[in-house]
Every structure is written in C-alpha cells, then in structure tokens.
C-alpha cells in the first residue's frame, strides 16, 4: 500500500496515522474553565519533549469555531493537569471522550473524583497514580491542530507505582492507544540494554 497525502481524504489519513503510529501514550487532561467548571478528556497526540525545563506536548484537533473544551479552558487559564491512564482507568477514560457539550463535567460522567492540585487551579484525577501539573508554555498552530506545550511545574506520583524512587511500569500498568477503538493493556517488560559507546572512538565504553 502507498499513501500519498495529495490523493487521499482527511479521514483516511487520520485513520492511517492513528493505526500506524502506535502505541501512543494517553494524556488524560483535566482543566478548569475561567468560571470554575471542571473538564476531563483524553489526548493521545501526546509526547514528552524536554527535561530542562520539563516540557510535554499535546495536539488538540481544530474544530474551527467550536474549540474543544480542553483547548478553550487552557487558553482561558493557562493551566492543566495530565493524569496517567492505567488499566483500571481505561473504561472511565473512554467515557470522557464522548463529544459532551460544553459545561458537562466529565468527572461526573465517568464517576471519577476531582482532587485539588497543588500549583495549579485545574483539578487532578484522584484515581490516577501520576499527576503532571502544567502551565501553558506555548500554543503552536500546526496543520489542523493546535500543539500545546506545557511546562510541568509539579509532578506528583503515588508511592504504589514506585520501585526505589522510579516509576515502575509493571506497577503502573499503563495503557497505550492503538487505531480505532483499540487499546493496548500492559503485558510484560522487555529489558534490552543499549550499547554504551564512546562517541570519539566508536568503541564500547569499559
């Protein structure tokens, strides 16, 4: 199969991209509107970008005159929280992704608990073991999406997913997004050591 973007319609390219670029981590984004309403929605166009400062990015697809509530709230307040999605949260996370009207609180729809965050006004999802409290660093229009770069101002991690101070994937049991309505639950860890090479000599480091 060959796909030339010049020849195919947008839904086909979306369907291809989201099936081929897999698995994707899911940012479960909680926000607060300027008037104080809570919102919750998943985004899998999501990536870690930089460690100093810690920056993460997510792309919210443009709905023209009707921006997604997440985008509107982040524009209004400059703040959001990214909550990790583990296997237990998968069904509730999917519930929040319905195109619920503005003003609907997806915490209630999904039976999840909004918990206060520390450095931002946006709530966190109490049931999620990792909370990344973010301030908007930059909004970049890219293609048919807005890429939101967030600076993590505080990361809060539940002890239950840690081993010796590190997030342990086997305890976190993260879920990845595949194409269509498919998800990849956690299976097992594959440890594959990287070659340690001296850049100057090209020889293995001893």
Residues that bind ligand FMN (CB under 6 A): 26, 39, 41-45, 59-61, 68-70, 94, 97, 99, 177
For Cα atoms 173, 178, 182, give the angle at the middle one, nearest 5 degrees.
85
Which residue's CB is nearer to ligand FMN, number 60 or number 134?
60
**Do 86 and 128 contact (CB within 8 A), yes or no?**
yes
Of all helices (H) and strands (E), which one includes residue 72?
helix 69-77
- How far CA 110 is from CA of 95, 99, 146, 153, in Å, comes to 6, 13, 26, 27
- Closer Cβ to ligand FMN, 97 or 167, answer by number: 97
Contacts of 123 (CB under 8 A, 6+ apart): 30, 32, 38, 81, 107, 114, 115, 116, 117
Which residue, 85 or 161, has its beta carbon nearer to ligand FMN? 85
Give the nearest distance from C-beta 2 to ligand FMN in angstroms. 26
Are 25 and 19 within 8 A, CB to CB? no
Give the nearer residue to ligand FMN in terms of CB position, either 118 or 182.
182
**Are 29 and 43 spatial neighbours (Cβ–Cβ below 8 Å)?**
yes
Q: Report, in Å, the least distance between residue 146 CB and ligand FMN.
A: 9
In the complex, the smallest distance separating the C-beta of residue 75 from ligand FMN, rounded to whole angstroms, is 12
Q: Closer to ligand FMN at the Cβ: 53 or 103?
A: 103
Distance CA 205, CA 192 (A): 17
Q: How near is the Cβ of 71 to ligand FMN at its closest, in Å?
A: 7
Q: How far is the CB of 119 from ligand FMN (least distance, A)?
A: 22
């Amino acid at each position: 199969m060959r796909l030339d973007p010049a020849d195919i319609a947008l839904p086909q390219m979306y369907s291809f991209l989201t099936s081929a670029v897999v698995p994707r981590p899911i940012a479960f984004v909680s926000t607060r509107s300027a008037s104080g309403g809570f919102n919750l929605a998943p985004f899998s166009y999501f990536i870690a970008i930089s460690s100093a400062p810690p920056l993460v990015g997510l792309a919210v697809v443009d709905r023209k005159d009707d921006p997604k509530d997440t985008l509107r709230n982040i524009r209004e307040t400059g703040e959001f929280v990214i909550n990790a999605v583990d296997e237990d949260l998968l069904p509730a996370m999917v519930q929040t992704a319905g195109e619920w009207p503005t003003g609907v609180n997806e915490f209630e729809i999904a039976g999840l608990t909004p918990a206060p965050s520390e450095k931002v006004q946006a709530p966190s999802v109490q049931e999620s073991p990792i909370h990344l409290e973010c301030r908007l660093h930059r909004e970049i229009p890219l293609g048919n999406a807005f890429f939101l770069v967030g600076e993590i101002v505080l990361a809060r991690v539940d002890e239950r997913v840690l081993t010796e101070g590190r997030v342990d994937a086997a305890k976190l049991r993260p879920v990845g997004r595949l194409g269509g309505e498919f998800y990849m639950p956690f299976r097992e860890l594959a440890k594959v050591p990287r070659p340690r090479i001296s850049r100057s000599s090209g020889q293995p480091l001893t």
